[in-house]
Chains A and B, each alone.
Chain A
Amino acid sequence: MIKKVEITSENDKFLNKVNELSGEVVTLCDQCGTCSGGCPLVTEMDITPSQWMRLVQLGLKEVLDFKAIWLCASCFTCTVRCPRKIDVSKVAEALRQIILRKAIDYIDLKAIPKDELACLPQIALVSACRKFTG
């Protein structure tokens, strides 16, 4: 299906924001798909890492609506394999931060069952709070 996308200054603004937060240059991505091929979570994602890279290149804010950016576990597999040396996990972090900085949490800490809280190591809880709450 062909989708027509009109690029306006708003799109540029969004792309620049992601570049600034991630410290990466997202437009360097040439869509080879190496990140998606090696991502351990990709089978659970609604879009692949290379797809979120493309959406950011076009400055499309709808990238923020996909669950994929939250399923990225910052494992850095894509980071060590990208032939363009882009840190894709930093781009995912930037996208999460855009949402979290509006004080919109991805996780409801109160919904974690008590028996889970009793057995989860602190490093799991602290990192989930760091990654999923604003």
Chain B
Amino acid sequence: MTTTKTETTKTTPTGIAKIPYYPGCTLKTTAKNFENSAIATARALGIELLEIPRWNCCGTVFSLADDDLIHHVASVRNFVRVQEMNDYGLVKNENRLVTLCAMCFNTLKSTNLRMKNNAEDLSKINDLMYREEDYQGKVEVLHFLELLKSLGFEKIRDRVKKPLKGLKIAPYYGCMILRPQEIGIDDPEDPTIQKDLLESLGADPIDTPYKRVCCGSYQTVKEKNIVAELAYDILSHAQKEGAEALATVCPLCAFNLDNRQKEVKAAHPDFEEIPIFYVTQLMAIAFGLGNEFYGFDQNYIDPRPLLKKKALIEQ
């Protein structure tokens, strides 16, 4: 099921391994707290997420129409940038491309798979990008969670300075890192990768069947009340199981579950608000990194009261 590579991570003489990193648009704005916390935690684990020079939008959604090749060009161009990073010596023989945003991950990996499985498509795309060098089809798209798994959750446990003791967190996976099956990083029906990570941080993971149920995704633009109902189901079921917060790796899920609590509350006055974390924010706390890496100002529901109650951040 999982595509995690077991190869050892190459390190430079300074002990830091450099891996090409694709941020995507939203990691620079509403999910800046996701990027900051992830880069800092990666560094604490001896990995430098090296931003691809001149990256461009991946397209956000993978075009599902069979004849629609032109929309794959944007993703492939980013793969050419990874080749250049190797050519120019920014990284050494490193074809892995790490993403944080679940939507970018899905789009990039789906495009890559189509290119790898279809030489004719790849050749057409290369012809379209006549100003670029040809994409050789060697890039491997990885989600940050897969990278952490390949390091071993034991290594992460060893790095923990402040265990998230007694913090009841429901991991929420959403769709884009699980489905379709050939793209997903875990069991599409019963994923565990975030639970394993949270356990290594000392937290108390809470299981809920809604962990892999869609939050409504981009329907939030036109149908925010439908999305609020989906969010209500996901959040209230987690609360019923005892969760005090949820963890995610998707900036769109985060928006729908966090910001849309305003609409949830309006439709369900008894609903009690619940904080939504990026899992990397929880890692930053557990690793004892400075609060400049937490970025809680960007969370809609402020998680600080909960963290103070658990004595995980200072009063």
Chain A residues engaging chain B, CB cutoff 8 angstroms: 20-23, 40-41, 44, 71, 73-77, 79-80, 87, 89-90, 93-94, 97, 106-107, 112, 116, 119-128, 130-132
Q: Contacts A41-B226, A44-B226, A107-B222 known; A124 to B180 CB distance under 8 Å?
A: no
Q: Contacts A73-B218, A75-B179, A75-B217 known; A123 to B65 CB distance under 8 Å?
A: no
Q: Mark B61-91, 1 if CB is under 8 A from A, else 0.
A: 1011111100100000000000000000000
Say which residue of B63, B65, B175, B218 sits within 8 Å of A76 (CB atoms).
B175
* B26-A122 in contact (CB<8A): yes
Number of A-B contacts (CB under 8 A): 127
Closest CB-CB distance, B129 to chain A, in whole Å? Answer: 20
Closest B residue to A132 by CB, please name it.
B222
Closest CB-CB distance, A73 to chain B, in whole Å? Answer: 4
Closest CB-CB distance, B3 to chain A, in whole Å? Answer: 16
* A75-B214 in contact (CB<8A): yes
Closest CB-CB distance, B203 to chain A, in whole Å? Answer: 26
Q: Contacts A41-B219, A120-B221 known; A80 to B61 CB distance under 8 Å?
A: no
Q: Does B30 sit within 8 A of A, measured CB to CB?
A: yes
* B213-A40 in contact (CB<8A): yes
Closest B residue to A100 by CB, please name it.
B65
Say which residue of A87, A121, A130 sits within 8 Å of B61 (CB atoms).
A130
- If over half of B's interface residues share one DSSP class (helix, strand or loop), that class is named, otherwise mixed; here it is loop
Residues of A with C-beta under 8 A to B255 = 119-121, 124
Q: Contacts A79-B180, A107-B221, A121-B251 known; A126 to B57 CB distance under 8 Å?
A: yes
On chain B, the number of residues with a Cβ less than 8 Å from chain A's Cβ atoms is: 42
Say which residue of A41, A79, A87, A124 sits within 8 Å of B218 (CB atoms).
A124
Residues of B with C-beta under 8 A to A73 = 175, 214, 216-219
Q: Contacts A23-B66, A71-B223 known; A121 to B180 CB distance under 8 Å?
A: no
